[in-house]
């Protein structure tokens, strides 16, 4: 229901709230006044040269010093006296030159008051001001306080950037010197004498920061409603951005209790991790009414999980099992029912995880909010989960089943973190894989519970396992778990947020759950969470608890959980298991997509694994076999004349399988005669393994192509989707060559029966298939049919699109088919179709609809329209910053757009890096996306030149660039080896029509 009444369930009386908020209001005058100082200093600093580090002058009394050239635009003290400056040497010498906090202090609690301004000041800046008091204990004697602070203007009080007092009778030493160490993002406080071990102290700071639109820390999101610009103040703290909101000990192991207070314009709502007390109205300095909202203390938690939002949103909510659940979004989105699906599924998913972990939900509420501007898909802030609109909002009349699945999966992923990640947190970011890989794996279990007919436990194979194998088969991959000392800087941490961490993490944990059984896995999780709740762990702690569960259940393993799993997480890559069905010999070796690539990363296990081999012989399941050495023999795998075998059933293991030529021929024969005797996931696996083995020169490319011949008789989604992705590589390598015509003719021949099948099933495209994956495969049928010129397809899609153009207010295109219809029609059309789609994109009120149009606009075959679209991508008035990198990659997917996109990023790299998140986790996708087609020496040299020219300005794209170089070299070799025979095979299978 609409927001309003639900709040009475947890608000306390105004009298009590007023008492709670007294301390906060005491800081309000200071906070409001700080904005005036900030405005003055901003204008001064615009003319001051940037420096690396700022120290405050003891002679200053009450002014501001800034921590970064970003806010304001130069880092300089504003004191009247001369300011000593220092720079950080290349070799760390002092504690403040190290990126990790020393182990001398432990935070207890923070009392933070923040006031975001939702209108710009006289200089056109959006700002926030704040007051923070952190209580901490001295653990090891020290005369130094290091606390993170980034891009904050700190007020100088009594000559220093902070004040220190003793707690519980302790005496605080006086401050000797304070300054901001910009490279390592510290506020440095040197003391005249040491802090006493066991004593507690309080450090107070006052500050102003910019409420920028940079998607990090405390930032600004904007949207239009009824022609009015609306501003949202919101947060994204992971991984190292809490220090941009207030000074804090910004490491995951530095857990504390947070007492948050927000001062905000009357008529807006303030949200944070915990429940709020009744808001109090106060009078601002200009006579305006301001609301002060104070929140209950949080649980003991890490800084990266903090969240606070000030907005003009509303919500729908319900109470489920004494947990208040609310879905917040733009008012129009809630009124249109876009939050209903999320609300309906959150309660059941929470219930599932309570049962799965056997631990009740640790908080009183679960707020979930959809933000117009959000860099990630979602963020698991404890009690206030933030989402992109596409990950939380769903409109049945407009959204596709894919949109619905995404919402269910992302909600499940984030709710899984409420226990695993939030209640128990890994000690440092080198174990990020455990946090994110786990949540990714169990998100499929949670969404399977919420939507039992969708086969979500199967779809993990397509969505995570198959995709990440392509990355992990590169010599430039990395192990799941890094050494703690190798992950130091914020950029090191950002680089870990990749598909290895999420998808491979999910795949190996799924494999573990399969071989110890899901019940035993769940029991181990329960005892792990019980022992370490509100604390921090390393991955070995989980292995120990899973081992306890294995021993208790009597599960037999060839080695300990730790010994088995360390081979999967401490070395990169995975094995290819080769089975010789003539002799029963089994071998393993590190699978590399390019067999000529050099692996220079050492492995503690020599790139050998303990491999759980599940298998069927002639359709009959066999007992699991463990491959524990480089090679072994299993007599049962030596086959008779009419027998065949398939290994890695349902792709439960994270490895590829190769066979002797005899078994390959028997599998191909079975696929072409009775494919249903092979499980559907394994039909997909055979295709995927064969194509990748061919890339690695382990089987012939023609063998891989032959695994697609049975598809003219296949109607299931997973084999078709796998084949489509596998053939995508052939498109990328050959869609600019003479091979393309024959390739297109072959796909046309194979997909025509599927197109006709869905034409019948949907009664001439008037109905929607009942099954979730059939709905997906209908999209495949239309997309591939239109792309290869199947008769009647383009007429269908362009007809639907023209009908919409004639009546823009009534879009009758089936939501599931929109992406492929939009793309097909825009590709066939010209400026009129493009401009119509652009207009509908700009006016879309549902984010997932906007996303479909945003992607389809890149499908045009008109180069000038693609160039214009690329220019639009870096105009924030036309394209949200969060979407810019996606558009560049979308254009690069188009063979006409690919060279345009490559020229564009080279010409605009400085601008992209500095304004579109060179340090953000998603930035590497630009390089990855734009270089997918690279397969010539000329392109390789261009890539090398780009690296040399931008070596100091790659940020989180550095690894993606190395992988692009490796992939390009592999592509060059592959094309040279395969082009002629592939052309001949396609031509023989689908002779050109004369």
Determine the Cα–Cα distance for residues 383 and 346; give it in Å rounded to an integer.
13
DSSP string, 707-761: TTGGGGG---HHHHHHHHHHHHHHHHHHTTSTHHHHHHHHHHHHHHHHHHHHHHH
DSSP string, 38-106: HHHHHHHHTTSPP-S-EE--TT--EEEEESBTTBSSS--B--SS--------SS--SGGGSSSPPTTEE
Closest CA relative to residue 990, chosen from 739, 802, 794: 739
What size, in residues, is the chain?
994
Angle between helices 505-516 and 561-569 (to 10 degrees): 160
| Tokens representing residue 674 in the block | 């009775």
Task: Judge contact between 251 and 103, C-beta under 8 A.
Answer: no
Please enumerate in sequence order all residues whose Cβ is within 8 A of that of 393, keeping only pairs 6 or more positions apart, or say none.
329, 333, 338, 339, 342, 370, 407, 846, 847, 848
Task: Judge contact between 154 and 162, C-beta under 8 A.
Answer: yes
Q: Which long-range contacts (CB under 8 A, 24 or more apart) does 983-988 make?
A: 983/738, 983/739, 983/742, 985/702, 985/705, 986/705, 986/739, 986/742, 986/743, 986/745, 986/746, 987/742
| Tokens representing residue 63 in the block | 């002014």
| Tokens representing residue 613 in the block | 């081999």
Determine the Cα–Cα distance for residues 461 and 492; give it in Å rounded to an integer.
29
Closest CA relative to residue 739, chosen from 466, 975, 518, 473: 975
Q: Among all chains, which residue has been given the structure tokens 């003991």?
A: 300
Task: Judge contact between 389 and 847, C-beta under 8 A.
Answer: yes
Query: Is the CA virtual torsion 658, 659, 661, 666 positive or negative?
Result: negative
Closest CA relative to residue 839, chosen from 804, 882, 881, 890: 804
Closest CA relative to residue 137, chosen from 202, 70, 208, 44: 202
Task: Judge contact between 277 and 14, C-beta under 8 A.
Answer: no
Angle between helices 717-734 and 958-989 (to 10 degrees): 100
Where residue 879 falls (left for φ over 0; alpha for ψ -120 to 50; beta otherwise) is: beta
Q: CA–CA distance from 306 to each of 258, 309, 387, 424, 533 (Å)?
A: 9, 11, 14, 15, 18
Angle between helices 937-949 and 958-989 (to 10 degrees): 170
CA angle 254, 176, 31 (to 5 degrees): 60
Question: Between β-strands 575-580 and 656-659, what pairing exists: parallel, antiparallel or unpaired?
Answer: parallel
DSSP string, 3-42: SSGGGGGT---HHHHHHHHHHHHHHHHHHHHHHHHHHHHH
Beta bridge partners of 480: none
The one catalytic residue in 41, 380, 405, 414 is 414
631 catalytic? Reply is no
Determine the Cα–Cα distance for residues 271 and 776; give it in Å rounded to an integer.
38
Task: Judge contact between 64 and 78, C-beta under 8 A.
Answer: yes
Task: Judge contact between 375 and 215, C-beta under 8 A.
Answer: yes
- What is the CA 556 to chain-centroid distance, rounded? 36
Closest CA relative to residue 265, chosen from 128, 432, 69: 128
Q: Among all chains, which residue has been given the structure tokens 């778990």?
A: 481
Q: Which residues are marked as active site? A: 414
């Amino acid at each position: 229901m609409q927001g309003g009444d639900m709040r009475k369930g947890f608000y306390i009386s105004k009298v009590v709230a007023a008492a709670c908020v007294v301390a906060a209001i005491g800081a309000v005058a200071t906070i409001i006044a700080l904005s005036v100082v900030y405005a003055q200093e901003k204008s001064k600093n615009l003319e001051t040269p940037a420096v690396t580090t700022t120290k405050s002058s003891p002679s200053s009394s009450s002014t501001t010093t800034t921590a970064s050239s970003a806010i304001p635009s130069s880092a300089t003290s504003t004191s009247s006296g001369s300011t000593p400056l220092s720079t950080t040497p290349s070799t760390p010498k002092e504690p403040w030159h190290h990126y990790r906090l020393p182990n001398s202090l432990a935070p207890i609690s923070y009392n933070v008051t923040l006031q975001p301004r939702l209108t710009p000041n006289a200089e056109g800046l959006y700002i926030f001001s704040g007051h923070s008091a952190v209580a901490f204990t001295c653990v090891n004697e020290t005369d130094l306080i290091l606390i993170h602070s980034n891009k904050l203007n700190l007020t100088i009080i009594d000559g220093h950037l902070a004040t220190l007092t003793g707690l519980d009778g302790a005496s605080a030493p006086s401050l000797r010197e304070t300054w901001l160490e910009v490279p390592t993002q510290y506020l440095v406080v040197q003391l005249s004498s040491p802090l006493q071990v066991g004593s507690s102290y309080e450090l107070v700071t006052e500050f102003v920061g910019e409420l920028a639109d940079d998607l990090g820390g405390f930032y600004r999101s904007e949207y239009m409603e009824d022609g009015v610009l609306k501003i949202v103040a919101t947060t994204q703290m992971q991984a190292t951005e809490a220090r941009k909101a207030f000074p804090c000990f910004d490491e995951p192991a530095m857990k504390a209790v947070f007492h948050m207070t927000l001062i905000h314009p009357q008529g807006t709502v303030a949200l944070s991790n915990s429940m709020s007390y009744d808001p109090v109205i106060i009078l601002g300095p200009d006579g305006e009414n301001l609301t002060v909202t104070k929140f209950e203390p949080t649980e003991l938690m890490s800084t990266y999980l903090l969240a606070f939002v000030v907005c003009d949103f509303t919500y729908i909510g319900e109470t489920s099992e004494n947990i208040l659940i609310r879905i917040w979004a733009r008012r129009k989105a809630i009124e249109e029912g876009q939050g209903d699906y999320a609300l309906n599924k959150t309660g059941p998913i929470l219930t599932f995880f309570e049962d799965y972990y056997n631990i009740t939900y640790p908080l009183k509420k679960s707020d979930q909010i959809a933000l117009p501007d959000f860099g990630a898909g979602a963020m698991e802030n404890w009690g206030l989960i933030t989402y992109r609109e596409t990950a939380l909002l769903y409109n049945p009349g407009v959204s596709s089943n894919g949109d619905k699945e995404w919402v269910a999966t992302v909600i499940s992923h984030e709710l899984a973190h409420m226990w695993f990640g939030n209640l128990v947190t890994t000690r440092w970011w080198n174990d990020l894989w455990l946090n994110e890989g786990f949540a990714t794996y169990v998100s499929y279990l949670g969404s399977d519970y919420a939507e039992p007919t969708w086969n979500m436990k199967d779809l993990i194979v397509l969505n995570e396992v198959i995709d990440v194998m392509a990355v992990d088969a590169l010599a430039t991959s990395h192990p799941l778990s890094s050494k703690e000392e190798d992950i130091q800087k914020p950029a090191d941490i950002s680089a870990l947020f990749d598909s290895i961490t999420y998808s491979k993490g999910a795949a190996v944990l799924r494999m573990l759950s399969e071989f110890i059984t899901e019940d035993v896995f769940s029991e181990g999780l329960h005892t792990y969470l019980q022992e370490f709740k509100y604390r921090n762990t390393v991955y070995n702690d989980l292995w120990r608890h899973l081992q306890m569960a294995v021993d208790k259940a009597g599960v037999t393993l060839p080695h300990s959980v730790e010994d088995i799993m360390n081979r999967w997480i401490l070395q990169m890559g995975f094995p290819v298991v080769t089975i010789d069905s003539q002799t029963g010999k089994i071998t393993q070796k590190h699978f590399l997509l390019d067999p000529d690539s050099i692996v220079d990363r050492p492995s503690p296990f020599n790139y050998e694994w303990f491999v759980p081999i599940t298998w069927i012989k002639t359709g009959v399941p066999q007992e699991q076999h463990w491959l524990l050495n480089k090679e072994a023999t299993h007599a049962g795998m030596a086959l008779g004349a009419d027998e065949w075998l398939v290994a890695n059933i349902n792709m439960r293991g994270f490895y590829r399988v190769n066979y002797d030529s005899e078994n390959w021929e028997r599998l191909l024969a079975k696929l072409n005669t009775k494919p249903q005797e092979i499980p559907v996931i394994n039909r997909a696996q055979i295709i995927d393994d064969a194509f990748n083995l061919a890339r690695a020169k382990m089987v012939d490319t023609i063998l891989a192509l032959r695994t697609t011949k049975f598809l003219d008789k296949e109607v299931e989604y997973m084999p078709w989707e796998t084949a489509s992705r596998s053939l995508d590589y052939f498109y990328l390598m050959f869609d600019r060559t003479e091979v393309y015509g024959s390739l297109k003719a072959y796909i046309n021949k194979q997909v025509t029966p599927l197109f006709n099948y869905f034409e019948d099933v949907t009664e001439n495209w008037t109905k929607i298939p009942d099954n979730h994956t059939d709905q997906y495969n209908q999209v495949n049928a239309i997309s591939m049919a239109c792309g290869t010129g199947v008769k009647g397809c383009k007429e269908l899609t362009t007809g639907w699109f023209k009908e919409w153009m004639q009546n823009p207010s009534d879009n009758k295109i089936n939501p599931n088919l929109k992406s492929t219809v939009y793309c097909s029609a825009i590709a066939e059309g010209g400026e009129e179709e493009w401009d119509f789609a652009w207009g509908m994109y700009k006016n879309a009120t549902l984010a997932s609809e906007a996303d479909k149009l945003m992607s389809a606009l890149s499908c045009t075959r008109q180069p000038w329209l693609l160039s214009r679209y690329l220019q639009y991508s870096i105009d924030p008035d036309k394209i949200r910053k969060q979407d810019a990198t996606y558009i560049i990659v979308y254009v690069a997917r188009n063979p006409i757009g690919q060279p345009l996109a490559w020229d564009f990023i080279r010409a605009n790299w400085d601008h992209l890096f500095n304004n579109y998140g060179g340090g953000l986790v998603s930035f590497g996708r630009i390089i990855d996306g734009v270089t997918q087609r690279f397969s010539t020496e000329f392109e390789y040299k261009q890539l090398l030149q780009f690296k040399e020219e931008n070596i100091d300005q790659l940020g989180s794209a550095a690894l993606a660039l190395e992988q692009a170089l490796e992939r390009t070299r592999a592509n060059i070799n592959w094309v040279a080896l395969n082009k002629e025979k592939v052309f001949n095979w396609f031509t023989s299978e689908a002779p050109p029509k004369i």
